[in-house]
Amino acid sequence: MNMTDSPLPLLEMRGIDKHFGGVHANKSVDLQLFRGEVLGLLGENGAGKTTLMNILFGMYQADAGTIAIEGRSVSNHTPADALALGIGMVHQHFHLVPRHSVLENLMVGEPGRRGILDEATARKRLHRIGSHYGLELDPAREVSELTVGEQQRLEIVKALFRGAKILILDEPTSVLTPQQTEGLFQAVRAMVADGVGVIFISHKLHEVLSIVHHVAVMRRGEMVATVTNDDSVTHRRLAELMCGRELQPLTKPAVERGRALLRLANIIVDGGRGHLPKLHDVSLNVHAAEIVGVAGVSGNGQRELAEVIAGVLMPSSGRIEVDSVLVDRASPRIMQQHGVAYVPEDRIGDGLLTTLPLSDSMVLPRVHQSPFSRLGWLNGQAIRQFVKQQIERFDIRGAGISVRTGMLSGGNLQKALLARELAFNPLVLVASQPTRGLDVAAVEFVHNRFLELRANGCGVLLISEDLEELFALSDRILVMYEGRIVGDLETKETTPTAIGLLMAGSTEAA
Amino acid sequence: MKLVLEPRAHTPTWLNISLPVLALLATLVLCSGLIIAAGAGVLPAYGALFKGAFGGKFNFVETLVKAAPLVFTGLAVAVAFRAKFWNIGAEGQLLAGAMAAAFIGAREALPVWSLVPLMIIAGFVAGGLWATLPAVLKLRYRVDDVVATLMLNFVMLYLMLALVDGPWKDPLSGYPDSPDIRMDAEFPILLQPTRLHLGVLLAGITAILVWLLMTRTTLGFAIRAVGENVRAAMHGGLPVKRVVFLTAAISGGLAGLAGVGEVAGLHFQVMASLSPGYGYTGIVIAMLARLNPLGVIPAAIFFAAIATGAETMSRTTGVPVFLADVIQGASLICMLVALLFTTYRLRVRGGATTEIGNVES
């Protein structure tokens, strides 16, 4: 850590307090960041990290507390002021103009000279920043053509371009592959060597521990601990600091595998003219009391597989049987009637009604059934009662039944979706990336529900990119590559390395 | 000093109620400048406006009679917009309903008791069918619903003009008007000797029925869900296309009822000037009502009151009648601003104050 040039912290936040209506989002929070330091900021969903960062960035104003940057106090600032003060923030969701080029995006908000944009200088600076930090980008390419990793790189370059001394990275690795993550970390190390202070927000503890100097942990709006990242800090200790209790290791009892509940045979989904099929002759079985994991790099047909089973996507050919009954012309409603529940990967886009009350989101698939309605008339009381029950059963926080669905945090949205799909004892559950973006406690909760389903004789198809999760839960792991199932392995008899090789398209490991 | 918007966690009830009232007040304050410019006193002018709209039985009834078609078209738009079916075609659907009513109302062969119910049904069906055309175009061929519904207004308008100038031309007067409907087909007058006809009552009842439909039925639920998130609705197993189709049919049917009311309650025939743009004003009414079917009633009465009151205001204070249009337009803008405050709060901030007050640390 490079703290020699100034004992003065680069950033000092003191006693930050913020209320939102009845929610105390930040309770007298202190935070210090020094030059050349990476500070990890950890906390569950809704612990107040994002609020704190938004206050720093000038999106919200704190009710109380002070912020000082290099010893100078800052108050009443707007995001524009924050940028001028050298605070850069890379959000989880990027703020780029998709139809503009890389260079044009960089120059958004640049004043230019007498209203004329100075493209040549910008191009030079882009090149300099790119080569210095290993963040090269082609200035002429349109943002819509960039991969997610490249878009993130552009966001970081944009911050550096504006002279950021403090860089906030909000869950930067959630969209990256392991290789891309390594590239990001190299850039962060180079920035830190130049004296930039970086605040790194993440749920992935092992990543946090591999890059940060200090870790600040928030829980329920409070800063509960700030620890130096040395050998004494473990994965487990951080997780426990975050949720304020000991985590139970998953217990996966031995269960007898039952009859085949879901059977796909020779499913083909065309990829459109001139493209490879999305699903190529896919056959699989999911048995009662079994969790079948599906591994694969995203975009290898997992989404299509899930959608075929959910009845959203019509396969071009192939057979689907649920509990030995052939399903002809599947639709979402028909699959539901056969007892298939579905937790889509894009829970907000495909699952929930964000601006409508939570109760609407939670009865959506079953609203036409008793007891929620009769002869086309809604039974408000039954709906309210059901939703209340589920809120309690799944410990959905921050929610009354009339609260707009979108006000819930990510973990609670996922709980709401799970509660809805599990409420009617499905035969088969298809869940796609069910713990992506969730905090430790929420992940634990979801995993336990899956094991409960398994114990109750439900068949679960778990599609995930998280190998750790697949190994912890699955009885069998299928590997998808380019629309095919290239591996079907008993979890006990395989290793993450072997699965990883299959995921990359190698055939030796099988 | 800067003004910044911050999102609200939830909207307090008192805001939902008081904001429309504040928007109305803001509108009146904004427009008072024009009254002064016209050389009249603000309070006398507004006083005359109010008296013209609500003072006395006749004025009040005139306002209600003018509000009735706006309630129907406002409801039509509110239902359609909830499902994000952008029905700009209430005008054409209104005309379709009016023509169906005029046709049924002039049938000598029909028994007397069946005339009024049949006109209502025929008007609803005609408007509904006319609206399902763009719905099918949208669902099957992905034709943009805004363009399709808008263009079909002109198709229906010229169809009507061709009819009243041709086969339906009134043989007695020779004007391009359709023949009058039978006396027995006219909506009964509820309050003699005013023009308060059955259609006004029908508009109020329909608003309540539509509110029930939207809040208490599975179809209303489906309409809201489809409008909010088509993909989630589809994943949840809702028959999305059928919902959009039904929404269009109901929306068009409601607009058709506006036409029925105008024919059976007021004009007793169709002619070129039947609708002064009620279908388009319905869009504004629905927005003012924030797509709430019950809110459509006050929004329509407000618009109608401005229109009827403006005449009196003009006569007594000399302020041009066109101020009515300005007030109506300004009210929508004020309402849209007010809407913003239901989801955001305004914070006042000074500029960044880095230079003042160094802290030692």
pLDDT confidence of residue A230: 85
> Could you tell me which residues are beta bridge partners of residue A477?
A293, A489
The hierarchical CATH code for the domain A11-243 is: 3.40.50.300
* Residue A24: predicted pLDDT: 83
Distance from the A124 Cα atom to the nearest Cα atom in chain B, whole angstroms:
31
Of A263-267, B239-243, B274-278, B343-347, least confident by mean pLDDT is B343-347
Q: Distance (Å) from the C-alpha of residue B346 to the closest C-alpha of chain A?
A: 11
Residues from chain B contacting residue A376 (CB–CB below 8 Å): 217-219
The reported pLDDT for the residue numbered A404 is 82
Residue B357's pLDDT is 35
- pLDDT tens digits, one per residue of A80-95: 888 889 999 988 778 8
Specify the higher pLDDT residue, B349 or B249. Answer: B249
Choose the closest CB to B225 out of A76, A78, A360: A360
The structure's pTM equals 0.79
**What is the distance of C-alpha B144 from the center of its chain?**
22
Confidence at A2, pLDDT banded by 50, 70, 90: very low
Q: Which of A73, A336, A378 sits opposite B221 (nearest CB)?
A: A378
Interface of B with A in 221-260 (CB under 8 A): 221-222, 224-225, 228-229, 231-239
> Is pLDDT above 50 for B355?
no
| Tokens describing residue B322 | 């066109």
Residues 6+ apart with CB under 8 A from A415: A394, A395, A396, A442, A445, A446
A12, A23, A72: residue with CB nearest B358: A72
With cut-offs at 50, 70 and 90, classify the pLDDT of residue A509.
very low
Instruction: With CB atoms and an 8 Å threshold, state whether A360 touches B352.
Output: no
The Cβ of residue A13 has, within 10 Å, a number of other Cβ atoms equal to: 23
| ipTM confidence | 0.81
Average pLDDT of every residue of chain A: 87
Please tell me the least confidently modeled range out of A451-465, B166-180, B242-256, B303-317.
B166-180
CA distance, residue A148 to nearest chain B CA (Å): 23
% pLDDT > 70, chain A: 94
Q: Residue A3 has what pLDDT?
A: 46
Domain A11-243 and domain A256-339+426-510, same fold? Reply is yes
**Least-confidence region, from B42-46, B172-176, B322-326:** B172-176
Whether the pLDDT of residue A1 is over 50: the answer is: no
CA distances from B153 to B20, B84, B168 (A): 31, 19, 20
pLDDT of residue B340: 82
Mean pLDDT of A209-231: 90
Residue A367: per-residue pLDDT: 92
Residue A385 clears pLDDT 90, i.e. is over it: yes
Torsion of CA A336, A338, A340, A341, to 10 degrees: 30
- Per-residue pLDDT at A114: 63
B64 or A220: which leads in pLDDT: B64
Question: Where are chain B's structural domains?
Answer: 71-306
pLDDT higher at A398 or A341 = A341
Ranges A2-16, A109-123, A348-362, most confident: A348-362
pLDDT tens digits, B161-208? 999 998 888 877 778 888 899 999 999 999 888 999 999 999 999 999
Name the token pair of B252.
């068009």
Q: What is the pLDDT of residue A288?
A: 95
CA distances B289 to A283, A393, B85, B331, Å, are 53, 38, 17, 12
Q: What is the pLDDT of residue B352?
A: 47
Rounded Cα gap, residues B355 and B345, in angstroms = 28
- In the CATH hierarchy, which fold is given to the domain comprising A256-339+426-510? Rossmann fold (3.40.50)
Would you place residue A115 in the very low, low, confident or very high pLDDT band (cuts 50, 70, 90)? low
Where does the pLDDT of residue A108 fall: very low under 50, low under 70, confident under 90, or very high at 90 and above? confident
Q: Name the 3-class secondary structure at A259.
A: coil
Assign A78 a pLDDT band (cuts: 50, 70, 90).
confident
